[in-house]
Amino acid sequence: MTAGTPAEDDAVEALEPEDPPAAADAFDGEIKVASRIVDYLSSGLYESPAACLKELVNNSYDADAKKVEVYVKPGADQIIVVDDGLGLTRDEFIRHFERVSESHKRDKRGTTPSGRPLVGRIGIGLIAANELCDEMEIVSTKKGQSELLRVTIDFEAMRLDPAGGERRDAEGDGDEFKKGDYSGWVEKAKKGDHYTRIYLRRIRDHARLMFAGIPHDAETAGDDSLYGLKPETIVGKLEDSNLRSWSEFDEYSQTMLEVGLNVPVRYAPGWIPSDVKRRVSDFEDQVEEGDFTVMYDGTDLRKPTVLRGPEGHFLRRFAFEGESVNAIGYFFAKRRALVPQELNGVLIRIRRAAVGDYDPSWLDYRATLNPLFQSWISAEIWADDGLEDALNIDRRTLRVTHPAFVELQAAFHKSFSKVLSEARDVFYTKRSATRRADQAREQVQRMKSIASEHGVSLPPTRTIKDLNPGADEGDNKRAIRRAVSTMTVSEVYELALEVARSELSEAQYRKFANALAQRLLE
Amino acid sequence: MRQLWVERVAQAPPRVRKEPLYLTLAGAEGRDVKALIDAGLIKVSEIGAILDEDADKIVAIEADEEAFLQLKRTIEGLDARKDRIENLLRNESPFNWPQGEEREIFRARVVNFDFDRALVVEVREGQLAFPQLSWVAKVAEIHGHAPALDWCLMLTFQGQVQWPSAVEDAVKKLLADNFERTQDFSASVEKLLGPDAVSGISGGDTDLKFSELDEQIQQCVLMTLVPKKIIEMVRGSGWCVKTHHNVRYGGTEARAPMVSFVFDFVWSARGTTEPGTVYRESLLDSVAGPVEIDPEGAIVPLFE
């Protein structure tokens, strides 16, 4: 309380207890959750704190919030999510929580008043918080309304007596469970206010440690942190070629990255090499259009997709229009293994929000086909609402038998196969041919030098074209291919070393090279 | 005033366990915390977020939701508690005390209670009650739990005195009794309040109304009363109270009249073995060097 103009009334106000709500403004009840959703929750789908937190952030997005503030530090003793969205009334709260079920699933084509495609499901999103904390307070006021809702949900009571929570739904729509009690009241809101503030209190131990970045196991936990950094600095850390995995960061940072990956925030500055940036500008435009900012402990949260590095790279677009689903996307391929490894795979987005993480199985692509080059690629697919029906309730997985998924999977695999071939061609075959040409030029130079020392004159250098002047360029290329297909033992040796060099650490590479040399000598 | 606070925090004794360095009622702007950051006492990241290594040095308490959120926005990573100080301290109850980690925050090496409001004084069952000062006494008692930790208290109130008649009469009686018991105290207070006011208080003049006195004299009433009550409340507990600053400022069009105090609480066996002597020493010290911060920010002694 800083010094300022005196307010005489404050002297009295300071020492009085908070006004109890008038009986007419108070309300309470039970939160009941359909058994199917309880099954999802108890199966550990929300075991990651990031998965729960992103649900809350996505709820803010659906409330047309432009800015969400997330406060975790210090210590994650309480977690606060504040948005400037449309807000919630008491009646809406009660409607959402009297029975949280899949029947609350939104209209397939639902959009927010500002036209954003809806991402989350409000009841399920808030219920996910029950995995993080024992108590949640929601403070909200809706645009254009004069009421300020204050409601507290007690999740702990139900954990202490889970059996007592089972109920039979009278309408025969399956079992339902009580997940907590709520009580609240309505106050008068300031005119023109609209927001939702969520306070998660009594954070459960496992979640608190992860949110705060306190290591469970000091030996295996990463210690570098992204806390308190600008987006540009974070990009610098993510593009470091020595960073092999996000697990090298502390769990605070990993949680932050996972939330950023999932929610519809902007791409990071310089996230992709400038020579291919123009080709993905439509993706940037889509998130820009969403005008959604998340401040995570003061850091402007961005997508952690950072595709950079000094080696060669190319980008290919993906576009598919099918019977059940349409999608666009891109493949980014670079020479050598793509790090951090979390980006190696395909990330699917529906309605601008990610479905889980990058899928390293490439939607169940055959792992044996060009495995080396699979590890050199990252892809993003933005699917339309056709794929929404295939989405499981956790928003992390898709039903693989759903027609939209099957259709998209086939189209994706076809494109992926082409990209793999191209990666092999661009990054390996052509480079290999170039290298051999360089070596040949070097040999010629050495021979010329030796000949010169001995006063011998050599004939002019000849190329394949010189040897076969009647053939067109295509014939010559085929001739080159034939030449390189009949590789000598030393060439195979060299190829193996090349692959090892790109895939292994320096120490492992040396070990491998020694073992290989030993084998050849035997 | 903030500069004085920063200097005191810089001089605070080193932390011995996990007790915070600084506990504050920071307000929405958190200006005192920013001053500590600017002085390099609290380290921050490139976006101004308090670094993990310094996160446990500082705790802020703010009950108002809007101010609390503004504070979180202003100083990222600050350990801010959305609660009333009296709730956390379990109010004036001698039977209820904060426990565990909540208790630990009240063992901060420097406690800054900038109430930014008037001193509340009530008469309850014929006795004067000072709720805010009772909280201070509780904080002192928490610091006194073994191992006792020396600490510094910064205290700020608005400088106006607007009490009901019954409270005014009781306060006058309290001061008159003290003038009678401690002549040196009476002499020092006379320099502060002036002879008329002291004589009116001592003589039980019912026409003397604090609220009708000049604003600067009202400030001086608080500069006399607040240290006296605090020293009295902790008498015999083991604390020797040293008044570092007894300050009045404001009272201009731009700024409300305010009073601020900086006390050092030093744990000493004398505090329990010689409570009367320690009390008198502390009392005389409390009004020995009152100062005024003038509109230009200069510190001016109120008397030689």
The mean per-residue pLDDT over the stretch B158-178 comes to: 92
User: Mapping DSSP to helix (H, G, I), strand (E, B) and coil, where does residue B185 land?
Assistant: helix
From chain A, pick out residues whose CB is under 8 angstroms from the CB of B32: 2
CB contact under 8 A, A1 and B56: no
Closest-CA residue in chain B for A252? B52
Longest dimension (CA), chain A: 111
Local confidence band at A4 (pLDDT 50, 70, 90 cut-offs): very low
Is the separation of the CB atoms in A315 and A419 below 8 Å?
no
Q: Which residues pair with B248 in a beta bridge?
A: B259, B292
pLDDT at B180 over 70: yes
pLDDT at res. A112: 87
Is B109 a member of any domain? yes
The Cα–Cα gap between A89 and A84 comes to 15
Q: Provide the domain limits for residue B146.
A: 2-161+219-295
From chain B, pick out residues whose CB is under 8 angstroms from the CB of A15: 86, 120, 131
pLDDT at res. A200: 94
Tokens 């900038």 appear where?
B114
Is the separation of the CB atoms in B103 and B142 below 8 Å?
yes
pLDDT at res. A182: 86
Rounded to 5 degrees, what are φ and ψ at A214? -90, 120
Which residues have CB under 8 Å from B38's CB, separation 6+? none
User: Mapping DSSP to helix (H, G, I), strand (E, B) and coil, where does residue A487 land?
Assistant: coil
Tokens 């063992």 appear where?
B107
Rg (CA), chain A: 30
CB contact under 8 A, A2 and B116: yes
Is B262 a member of any domain? yes
Dihedral over Cα of A154, A155, A161, A162: its sign: positive
Task: Tell me how close the Cα of A150 comes to any Cα of chain B, in angstroms.
Answer: 12
From chain B, pick out residues whose CB is under 8 angstroms from the CB of A4: 116, 255-256
The Cα–Cα gap between A358 and A347 comes to 4
Side chain identity at A348, as an amino acid letter?
I
pLDDT at A316 over 60: yes
Local confidence band at A23 (pLDDT 50, 70, 90 cut-offs): low
The mean per-residue pLDDT over the stretch B73-86 comes to: 95
pLDDT at A97 over 70: yes
pLDDT at A19 over 70: no
The mean per-residue pLDDT over the stretch A356-361 comes to: 93
Which residues have CB under 8 Å from A445's CB, separation 6+? none
Chain B 128-147, residues with CB within 8 Å of chain A CB atoms = 131
The Cα–Cα gap between A302 and A277 comes to 16
Q: Which residue has the higher pLDDT, A84 or A431?
A: A84
pLDDT at res. A208: 86
From chain B, pick out residues whose CB is under 8 angstroms from the CB of A233: 46
Q: Which residue has the higher pLDDT, A134 or A102?
A: A134
Residue B164 contacts A where some CB pair is shorter than 8 Å = no
CB contact under 8 A, B120 and A71: no
The Cα–Cα gap between A247 and B240 comes to 53
Side chain identity at B261, as an amino acid letter?
F
CB contact under 8 A, B76 and A80: no
**Alpha carbons within 13 A on the beta-carbon side of A516:** 18
pLDDT at res. A418: 92
CB-CB neighbours of A293 under 10 Å: 16
pLDDT at res. B249: 93
Tokens of A155: 């999740």
Q: Which residue has the higher pLDDT, A16 or B201?
A: B201
CB contact under 8 A, A14 and B156: no
pLDDT at A43 over 90: no
Count of CB contacts below 8 A, A vs B? 110
Q: Which residue has the higher pLDDT, A117 or A306?
A: A306
Rg (CA), chain B: 19
Spacing of C-alpha B287 from chain mean position? 14
Local confidence band at A325 (pLDDT 50, 70, 90 cut-offs): very high
Instruction: Return the residue in B32, B33, B52 with the most chain A beta carbons within 10 A, the one to mutate for interface testing.
Output: B52
H-helix or E-strand containing A200?
Answer: strand A195-203
The mean per-residue pLDDT over the stretch A135-160 comes to: 87
The Cα–Cα gap between B25 and B31 comes to 11
The mean per-residue pLDDT over the stretch A393-414 comes to: 90
The Cα–Cα gap between B151 and B99 comes to 19
Closest-CA residue in chain A for B117? A11
pLDDT at res. A489: 65
Is B195 a member of any domain? no
CATH number at residue B97: 3.40.50.150
pLDDT at A501 over 90: no
Q: Which of B50, B78, B115 comes nearest A1 by C-beta?
A: B115
Is B278 a member of any domain? yes
Strands B291-293 and B239-249: parallel
Q: Which of B29, B47, B118 comes nearest A228 by C-beta?
A: B47
Lowest mean pLDDT among A237-251, A494-508, B92-106: A494-508
Is the separation of the CB atoms in B23 and B104 below 8 Å?
no
Tokens 């510094």 appear where?
B152
Distances (CA, A) of B289 to B185, B234, B284, B299: 12, 21, 10, 11
Tokens of A227: 């806390």
pLDDT at res. A41: 65
Residue B240 contacts A where some CB pair is shorter than 8 Å = no
Q: What is the pLDDT of residues A426-484, one digit of tens each?
A: 887 766 667 777 777 777 777 777 777 767 666 666 565 666 666 676 776 776 666 55
pLDDT at A338 over 80: yes
Is the separation of the CB atoms in A378 and A509 below 8 Å?
no
Is B303 a member of any domain? no
Task: Tell me how close the Cα of A3 comes to any Cα of chain B, in angstroms.
Answer: 5
Residue B196 contacts A where some CB pair is shorter than 8 Å = no
The Cα–Cα gap between A412 and A500 comes to 29
The Cα–Cα gap between A45 and A128 comes to 9
Q: Which of A12, A15, A74 comes nearest B77 by C-beta?
A: A74
**Percent of chain A scoring above 70 in pLDDT:** 77
Closest-CA residue in chain A for B1? A3
Give the DSSP letter of residue A224.
B
Q: Which of B55, B79, B156 comes nearest A3 by C-beta?
A: B156
Residue B47 contacts A where some CB pair is shorter than 8 Å = yes
Local confidence band at A341 (pLDDT 50, 70, 90 cut-offs): very high
The Cα–Cα gap between A135 and B300 comes to 52
Tokens of A94: 């009660």
The Cα–Cα gap between A106 and A112 comes to 11
Spacing of C-alpha B72 from chain mean position? 25
Q: Which of B28, B50, B120 comes nearest A15 by C-beta?
A: B120
pLDDT at A239 over 80: yes
pLDDT at A45 over 70: no
Task: Tell me how close the Cα of B54 comes to any Cα of chain A, in angstroms.
Answer: 10
Task: Tell me how close the Cα of A273 comes to any Cα of chain B, in angstroms.
Answer: 25
The mean per-residue pLDDT over the stretch B98-117 comes to: 93
Q: Which of A14, A297, A298 comes nearest B117 by C-beta?
A: A14
From chain B, pick out residues whose CB is under 8 angstroms from the CB of A84: none
pLDDT at res. A438: 76
pLDDT at res. B16: 81
Q: Pick the closest to residue A331 from A320, A353, A347 (CA basis).
A: A347
CB contact under 8 A, A298 and B47: yes
Strands A293-296 and A67-71: parallel
The mean per-residue pLDDT over the stretch A301-307 comes to: 96
Q: Which of B31, B45, B76 comes nearest A2 by C-beta?
A: B31
From chain B, pick out residues whose CB is under 8 angstroms from the CB of A139: 65
Spacing of C-alpha A177 from chain mean position? 32
The Cα–Cα gap between B251 and B159 comes to 8
Task: Tell me how close the Cα of A159 comes to any Cα of chain B, in angstroms.
Answer: 24
pLDDT at res. A11: 37
Residue B191 contacts A where some CB pair is shorter than 8 Å = no
pLDDT at A488 over 80: no
Is B56 a member of any domain? yes
Q: Pick the closest to residue B5 from B25, A517, B74, A298 (CA basis).
A: B25
Is the separation of the CB atoms in B122 and B132 below 8 Å?
no
pLDDT at A487 over 70: no
Closest-CA residue in chain A for B44? A228
From chain A, pick out residues whose CB is under 8 angstroms from the CB of B3: none
pLDDT at res. A105: 44
Residue B186: is it exposed, middle or buried by C-beta count within 10 angstroms (0-12/13-18/19+)?
A: middle
Task: Tell me how close the Cα of B26 comes to any Cα of chain A, in angstroms.
Answer: 5
Instruction: Return the residue in A2, A201, A202, A251 with the most chain B beta carbons within 10 A, the one to mutate for interface testing.
Output: A2
pLDDT at res. A9: 39
Distances (CA, A) of A197 to A56, A68, A83, A164: 10, 10, 6, 30
pLDDT at B113 over 80: yes
- What's the mean per-residue pLDDT of chain A? 81
Where does chain B have alpha helices with state H?
2-10, 31-38, 52-55, 65-74, 85-88, 100-105, 131-144, 165-181, 183-193, 195-202, 215-233, 270-273, 275-286
The Cα–Cα gap between B251 and B219 comes to 9
pLDDT at res. B15: 83
pLDDT at A156 over 50: yes
The Cα–Cα gap between A61 and A115 comes to 11
From chain A, pick out residues whose CB is under 8 angstroms from the CB of B297: none
CB contact under 8 A, B116 and A228: no
CB-CB neighbours of A221 under 10 Å: 16
Local confidence band at A55 (pLDDT 50, 70, 90 cut-offs): confident
pLDDT at res. B176: 92
A-side interface with B, Cβ within 8 Å? 1-8, 10-12, 14-15, 69, 71, 73-75, 80, 82, 139, 197, 199, 213, 225, 227-230, 233, 297-299
pLDDT at A2 over 70: no
pLDDT at A14 over 60: no
pLDDT at res. A385: 87
Is B244 a member of any domain? yes
pLDDT at A1 over 80: no
pLDDT at B267 over 90: yes
Q: Which of B32, B72, B256 comes nearest A71 by C-beta?
A: B72
Is B139 a member of any domain? yes
pLDDT at B158 over 90: yes
Lowest mean pLDDT among A140-144, A422-426, B133-137: A422-426
Q: How many domains does chain B have?
A: 1
CB-CB neighbours of A493 under 10 Å: 16
CB contact under 8 A, B25 and A1: yes
Q: Which residues pair with A333 in a beta bridge?
A: A314, A377
Give the DSSP letter of residue A216.
S
Length of chain A: 522
pLDDT at A301 over 80: yes
- What's the mean per-residue pLDDT of chain B? 91
Most confident of the ranges A11-25, B7-21, B125-139, B265-279: B125-139
Q: Which residue has the higher pLDDT, A368 or A343?
A: A343
The Cα–Cα gap between B260 and B248 comes to 6
